[in-house]
Structure 1
Amino acid sequence: MEHTSAVPQAVENSNAGSQFVQSLARGLDVIRAFDAEHPSMTLTDVAKLTGLSRATARRFLLTLADLGYVQTDGKHFELTSRVLQLGYSYLSSHTLPQLIDPVLQGLSARMRESSSASVLDGADVVYISRVHARSIMRVGISVGSRFPAYATSMGRVLLAHLPAADLEARLAGRELSALTPNTITDPAELRAELTRVRAQGYCLVDQELEIGLRSIAAPVFAPDGSVAAALNISMSTLPNGTGHDVDEAAALVLPELLAAAEQVRAALAARR
C-alpha cells in the first residue's frame, strides 16, 4: 500500500523568513513521518511520505541514526526511545501546576464536577490548581485558598504519606475543631484514619469541611516515591447534587481520579 503524504511540509512555508533553517525543518519532517501507522519504514517510504528526494531522505535518516534518534537494520528505519527526550525538554520546563492544569481540565470535563490540586503548607492545604464546574461551597475556592488539612480529603492524603516524625510535628498543638458535626476531632481517630488512607490509596471525606460537600482525593507520587501533591473531585450531597451515596460516589469517581493522578505522576517522571 502506497503511503500518502501526511507530514506538514514546513520547508514549503512561503512565510518563512531569512532566519528559517530549511534543513532543520526537513529533519523534523522526517521524525514526524513515523507514527502509529508507520512505525517502521524503508527509505522509499520516508521519501514519499515527506516529499523529499531519496538522497535527501537518506542523509537525514543516517544523520538521525548517528545521533541515536533512529535505528535501522539496513532496510527499515525506526525511531528510538531517545526521541522522547525532545518531549521531556518541554515537560521539564513546566512547573507542577502547569503539568496538573490540563489533567484537571480533562478530569472535570469527564466527571462534570469540580477538581483541584493542593500541597501541604504546615498543617494546611494550599490549592495550586482548580477547575470549577459548579458552585458547591459557600466559601469560594481558588488557587491560593487554604483549608485545615485534617478536615479535607487532599489534606489527609498528604498527611497520610508523611514520615511519622513530620506528621507529628505538623499536628502538634493543632486543635481539631469541629467544622461540621461530621468532622473528626479526636487525634487518635484521625491518626487511625490516616493509616487507612495510606493503605487504601485514596481518601473520601463526607461533609467534614462543610455540610453538603463530599470529596475524594488521591496522591500524586513524585519520581523519588514521595507525594508531590494531591488531586480531588468535589461533589454536592444536596438535593440538586449527584444524588449518589458515599459508596456509589467512590465507585463512580475513583477510577478516573486515580488515572488522573497516574497521568501527572508520569509527567513528573518524564521531567527527570
Structure 2
Amino acid sequence: MADADAPTDTINERDFIQSIERGFAVLTAFDADAPRPTLADIAKRTGFSRPAVRRILLTLQQLGYVTGSNGRWTLTPRVLSIGQHYTASHALIEISQPHLVALAEHTSEPASLAALDGTEVVHIADVPVRRIMSVNVSVGMRAAAYPTSMGRILLAWRGSEFIESYLGQVSIEPFTAQTVKSPDELRRVLEQVRHDGYSIVDEELEQGLLSASAPVRNAEGEVVAALASWTSKGRSTAKQMRDRVVPKLVELAASISTDLGHKAGITKMRGSGRG
C-alpha cells in the first residue's frame, strides 16, 4: 500500500491547492525590476484580478512576509527564513561549504554550488571574493541552464529523455555571439561534457565571463549539483582555466560527492536507465 505522506512527482487536481500557488506567484512578483510594486503592478505581473491580489497581499502582510505603505508593497526580511529552512534541511550545502572555501582560496576567484530548478540553474551556496565581477554571484541567483557551465553539468547526466524534454521547453537564444546556436549543438556539447567530466563555458552567458564546473554526486551516483569557479577573460583564458583550475575543481567536487556517500565508479543517468 502506498504511503499517503510520501513525496510524489505528480499530484491530482483534487490535492492541488490553488491559493498556495497564487500566494507564491505574488511573492515572486517582487524582484530587482519591481522591488516596491503597486497592487496594479502585481496584478499585471501575475495575471490575477486586483481583488484577488489584494486579498493575497493582506494575508501575506498578516503573516509578516510583506508590508504596504503609500500604495506600494515590499517584502519583509521574514521571506529570508524560507531560504534558511532550505539551507538547514539540505546537508549538501553544509558539506560543500569548506570545499567552496578551498576552491575560492585556490583560485582567488568566486566559487559556487548550483542545482537545477526547472529550466534554470539556481545558486544554492557561494563564496565571493573581493573583486569586481561582471556577474554578482550570490545565493538565489538564477540563469538559463544551456549557456552556463553549471547548467551543462546538471543537464549532461540527466539522460536523453530528460534532455529532450528540456529542449522542448526552452528556446535557444543567443546571449552573446559565442552562445550555442541550436539544440543539436547543445546535444553535442553535453555529450562532450559527459566525456570530459567537466564543463568550461567561454563568454556564452556574458561577454568577458569565463566559468568551469564539475559534477557533485549523491550516494546513488546521481549528479545533484554543480561546483563552479568564475573569472573574467581579462584574468584568464579557457586553456589556463583547464590547466590550473579544472583539476582542483574536479578533485573538490569528488570530495563533496564522497562526503555525500558516493563511491567512485558508481554513476547513474537520471531517466536513461543507464548505470
Same fold (TM over 0.5): yes
Distance 1:136 1:237, change over 3 A: farther
Q: Contact 2:110–2:137 (CA<8 Å) still a contact in 1?
A: no
Partner of 1:126: 122
* In the alignment, structure 1 residue 250 sits paired with structure 2 residue 242: yes
Q: Contact 1:207–1:214 (CA<8 Å) still a contact in 2?
A: yes
* In the alignment, structure 1 residue 145 sits paired with structure 2 residue 137: no
* In the alignment, structure 1 residue 214 sits paired with structure 2 residue 248: no
2:169 to 143, 161, 173: 173
| Equivalence map 1:85-104=2 (5 Å) | 95-104=91-100
Distance 1:232 1:146, change over 3 A: same
1:162 to 138, 148, 158: 158
Amino acid at match of 2:238: V
Distance 1:139 1:257, change over 3 A: closer
SS of the counterpart of 1:142? coil
Could you list the per-position Cα deviations for residues 167-193 of structure 1 after superposition, in whole angstroms to 9, with x for gaps in the alignment?
A: 111221311111111111211001000
Partner of 1:259: 251
Could you list the per-position Cα deviations for residues 115-151 of structure 1 after superposition, in whole angstroms to 9, with x for gaps in the alignment?
A: 1010101111010111112445434221111000001
* In the alignment, structure 1 residue 204 sits paired with structure 2 residue 205: no
* In the alignment, structure 1 residue 231 sits paired with structure 2 residue 223: no
RMSD: 1.8
Q: Contact 2:116–2:154 (CA<8 Å) still a contact in 1?
A: yes
CA distance in 1 between counterparts of 2:90 and 2:117 reads 21
Q: Contact 1:136–1:236 (CA<8 Å) still a contact in 2?
A: no
Amino acid at match of 2:178: N
Q: Contact 1:123–1:171 (CA<8 Å) still a contact in 2?
A: no
Could you list the per-position Cα deviations for residues 198-234 of structure 1 after superposition, in whole angstroms to 9, with x for gaps in the alignment?
A: 1110000001111111001000111111101100111
Between the two proteins, the alignment pairs up a number of residues equal to: 175
Distance 1:195 1:96, change over 3 A: same
Unaligned runs of 5+ in 2: 1-88, 263-275
Q: Contact 1:222–1:228 (CA<8 Å) still a contact in 2?
A: yes
Displaced runs of 4 or more, over 6 A: none
Partner of 1:26: none
Q: TM-score, normalising length from structure 2?
A: 0.61
| Equivalence map 1:6-155=2 (5 Å) | 95-135=91-131, 137-155=133-151
Using the TM superposition, give the Cα deviation of residue 94 of structure 1 relative to its aligned residue in structure 2, in angstroms: 6.1
Amino acid at match of 1:256: K
Q: Contact 1:136–1:212 (CA<8 Å) still a contact in 2?
A: no
2:183 to 167, 180, 187: 187
Partner of 1:13: none
Identity between Structure 1 and Structure 2 (%):
39
Amino acid at match of 1:262: A
Partner of 1:79: none
SS of the counterpart of 1:181? coil
SS of the counterpart of 1:150? coil
Could you list the per-position Cα deviations for residues 17-56 of structure 1 after superposition, in whole angstroms to 9, with x for gaps in the alignment?
A: xxxxxxxxxxxxxxxxxxxxxxxxxxxxxxxxxxxxxxxx
Unaligned runs of 5+ in 1: 1-92
SS of the counterpart of 1:229? strand
